[in-house]
Amino acid sequence: MYKHIFGPVPSRRLKMSLGVDIVPHKICSLNCVYCECGKTTNLTVERKEYVPTGEVLAEIDHYLKNNQPPDYITFSGSGEPLLHSGIGEIINYIKNNFPLIPLAILTNGTLLSDKHVRSEILQADVVLPSFDAATEKSFLKINRPSKLINLNEYLQGLIDFRQEFKGQIWLEIFILPNYNDDQDNLKELKKAVKRINPNIVQLNTLDRPCALKNLKPASYEQLDNIITLWNLKNVKIISSVDERKKVGSFRKDTESVILETIARRPCTVSDLSDILGLHDNEINKYLSTLENDKKIARTELSRGTFYSLKVKQRK
């Protein structure tokens, strides 16, 4: 079993995507209230070799030499990938040995204020940075950053990266009512988006349990109103979980095995991950769909969010 790669997982944006997870769970420079992976346990901007680079290279090599190529190789997971000091070496290795597979990076973008970090990821094909707030108030509220992150430097890093990077930038903005949907932030966000000049802006909102309980997602109508208000090119709403099933790699067998497991006893994401040997992110994607289909229910207990089969109402 692999330790640092997972999937391929059905992804709304990156089709059948082989995940590369190079930073341990919840080591991140932000502590976003909406994080699907829970609370950040190590809030840091320190870059280091969090997992051995050689191990990651060996796993990627083994997978790609023994399986069909995925649609993308994607750096993602439950921590911030740019914190890993070996990411440049890993990207070089993939590009030298498997040049035909597109490479994507999901990042919060905070470390792009560092020129050296920017230079390390220039060979990627798609970078998907997030940027949810352009006012200090909203930034602190929704992203709860490390004290060492300065909002202006964060924004400037994204602007500089656009100048230097020849690939696609898909900027993700997560909208959360009462956290970053005030007029002031929306106005400043529009200015920031124009300065960053990404290829696409993707508006996202909650569809999973997250770090802070009782958060509400933005409605489709609200996201649509933001698009109208901004009147910018290339702003899209990321499609709903329904779309996930249309992704070619959505595996009914994985869905079934999750259902069979929670039919025996309610499980958390982490229980399912241990039992099934799948990455948290992968489990999360299937749970979204099952919840959306009203096949499972969730209960909040002290050990976390438990999933069980939805009990059918007797007529």
Q: Would you tell me which residues interact with ligand SF4 (CB under 6 A)?
A: 28, 30-32, 35, 37, 40, 80, 108
Element (H, E) at 16: strand 15-20
> Minimum distance from CB of 28 to ligand SF4 (Å)?
3
Report how far apart, in Å, the C-alpha atoms of 62 and of each of 12, 74, 124, 197, 223 are. 26, 16, 21, 37, 42
Crossing angle of helices 87-97/53-66, nearest 10°?
A: 20
Beta strand pairing status for 304-309 and 296-301? antiparallel
In terms of CB distance, is 178 or 299 closer to ligand SF4?
Answer: 178
State the Cα–Cα distance between residues 240 and 221, nearest whole angstrom: 13
In terms of CB distance, is 110 or 268 closer to ligand SF4?
Answer: 110
Q: Which amino acid is at 180?
A: N
**Tokens (6 digits) for 130:** 């997030």
> Minimum distance from CB of 252 to ligand SF4 (Å)?
28
Collapsed DSSP state (helix, strand, coil) of residue 89: helix
> Minimum distance from CB of 143 to ligand SF4 (Å)?
7
> Minimum distance from CB of 309 to ligand SF4 (Å)?
28
Would you tell me how many other CB atoms lie within 10 Å of the CB of residue 311?
Answer: 7
Collapsed DSSP state (helix, strand, coil) of residue 235: strand
Q: Are 127 and 102 in contact (CB under 8 A)?
A: no
Q: How many residues does the chain have?
A: 315
In terms of CB distance, is 83 or 278 closer to ligand SF4?
Answer: 83
In terms of CB distance, is 18 or 35 closer to ligand SF4?
Answer: 35
In terms of CB distance, is 28 or 235 closer to ligand SF4?
Answer: 28
In terms of CB distance, is 37 or 203 closer to ligand SF4?
Answer: 37
State the Cα–Cα distance between residues 273 and 67, nearest whole angstrom: 22
Q: Are 282 and 6 in contact (CB under 8 A)?
A: yes
State the Cα–Cα distance between residues 212 and 32, nearest whole angstrom: 9
> Minimum distance from CB of 27 to ligand SF4 (Å)?
9
> Minimum distance from CB of 211 to ligand SF4 (Å)?
7
> Minimum distance from CB of 154 to ligand SF4 (Å)?
12
In terms of CB distance, is 33 or 124 closer to ligand SF4?
Answer: 33
State the Cα–Cα distance between residues 54 and 118, nearest whole angstrom: 22
In terms of CB distance, is 28 or 103 closer to ligand SF4?
Answer: 28
> Minimum distance from CB of 248 to ligand SF4 (Å)?
26
Q: What are residue 307's DSSP bridge partners?
A: 267, 298
